[in-house]
Amino acid sequence: MGVFDIIGPVMIGPSSSHTAGAARLGKMAGTILGEVPVKAVITLYGSFAQTYKGHGTDKALVAGLMGFAADDERIKDALSLAEKSGLEVVFKSSQGDYHPNTAEFELSGVSGKKARVRGASLGGGSIRITSIDGYEVEFAGEYYTLITIHQDKPGVIANITQILAQQNVNIAFMRVSRKQKGAQALMILETDQPIALRAINAMNELSGIQSALVVQPI
């Protein structure tokens, strides 16, 4: 166990799970959307649903969507800042068999792009993303993370990994999720090194790739 695990992250309080982790969840969801969000419907589960106003979880989630870090002093004013910036936010509470500190984001961006992201705050500022657009995933935002939506057919993943090998990028973890054989699939690929923009551009030109984006460690 390291010092960070003992004393927790540098953050705006009162809680590492309800504020620091919530801010990181929001930031990750916004990054996955890939553009400035203009509307966010945020559904809260478990402890988040019961205490989000008292612990400032609502402010932290919205602050993260706007790109604020967990120690940003603007978190306390996030709701009013979101309104001024044109970001419409709706909070809902629900029940589900999820981690007690779970939030699901239904996001719309400036171009009309949409994303649905679910994740949990695990304590100490740590998070885990568990679903993207209905695909079950699992990653924590601690590595450079490549997210691809591609056709589920032979050779597509091999072409992606070949591009990474050419860039001397080492794969740490990889997981592929699909809803139906031969249809669309989503891949989460975490790497030890940054993935250059030219590599992402090359992936997006591959046959069978709908989209490829990189999420930086947060």
Residue 35 domain-assigned?
Answer: yes
| Res 38 pLDDT > 80 | yes
Distance CA(72)–CA(212), nearest Å, equals 30
Q: Are residues 7 and 101 in the same domain?
A: yes
Q: Are residues 48 and 150 in the same domain?
A: no
Q: Are residues 124 and 54 in the same domain?
A: yes
**DSSP type of residue 2:** -
Residue 139 domain-assigned?
Answer: no
Q: Which of 105, 133, 161 is the last residue of a domain?
A: 133
Residue 114 domain-assigned?
Answer: yes
For residues 193-218, give the mean pLDDT.
95
Which single residue is written with the structure tokens 């809803």? 179
Maximum mean pLDDT: which of 2-11, 19-28, 79-88, 95-104: 79-88
Residue 96 domain-assigned?
Answer: yes
Q: Are residues 8 and 91 in the same domain?
A: yes
**Amino acid identity, residue 157?**
I
Structural domains of the chain, count: 2
Q: Are residues 126 and 151 in the same domain?
A: no
Q: Which of 74, 109, 133 is the last residue of a domain?
A: 133
DSSP assignment of 101-167 equals EEEEEEEEETTS-EEEEEEEEEETTEEEEEEETTEEEEE-SSSEEEEEEEE-STTHHHHHHHHHHHT
Residue 150 domain-assigned?
Answer: yes
| Res 7 pLDDT > 50 | no
Q: Are residues 152 and 116 in the same domain?
A: no
Q: Are residues 150 and 211 in the same domain?
A: yes
Q: Which of 133, 163, 190 is the last residue of a domain?
A: 133
CB 62 within 8 A of CB 103: no
Q: Are residues 199 and 122 in the same domain?
A: no
List the domain range (segments joined by +) for residue 80.
Answer: 3-133
What's the mean per-residue pLDDT of the chain? 90
- Look up the CATH number of the domain holding residue 155: 3.30.70.260
CB 54 within 8 A of CB 12: no
The per-residue pLDDT for range 124-144, each reduced to its tens digit, is 788 999 999 999 999 999 999
- Look up the CATH number of the domain holding residue 111: 3.30.1330.90
pLDDT at position 15: 55
| Res 209 pLDDT > 80 | yes
The per-residue pLDDT for range 162-203, each reduced to its tens digit, is 999 999 999 999 999 998 899 999 999 999 999 999 999 999
Q: Are residues 11 and 102 in the same domain?
A: yes
pLDDT at position 19: 83
For residues 205-216, give the mean pLDDT.
94
Where does the pLDDT of residue 35 fall: very low under 50, low under 70, confident under 90, or very high at 90 and above?
Answer: very high
For residues 29-52, give the mean pLDDT.
94
pLDDT at position 52: 85
Residue 138 domain-assigned?
Answer: no
Q: Are residues 46 and 111 in the same domain?
A: yes
Q: Are residues 113 and 156 in the same domain?
A: no
For residues 14-43, give the mean pLDDT.
88
For residues 92-109, give the mean pLDDT.
94
Distance CA(68)–CA(46), nearest Å, equals 24
Where does the pLDDT of residue 84 fall: very low under 50, low under 70, confident under 90, or very high at 90 and above?
Answer: very high
pLDDT at position 20: 87
**Amino acid identity, residue 142?**
E
User: 211 by DSSP, 3-state: which?
Assistant: strand
Distance CA(144)–CA(151), nearest Å, equals 23
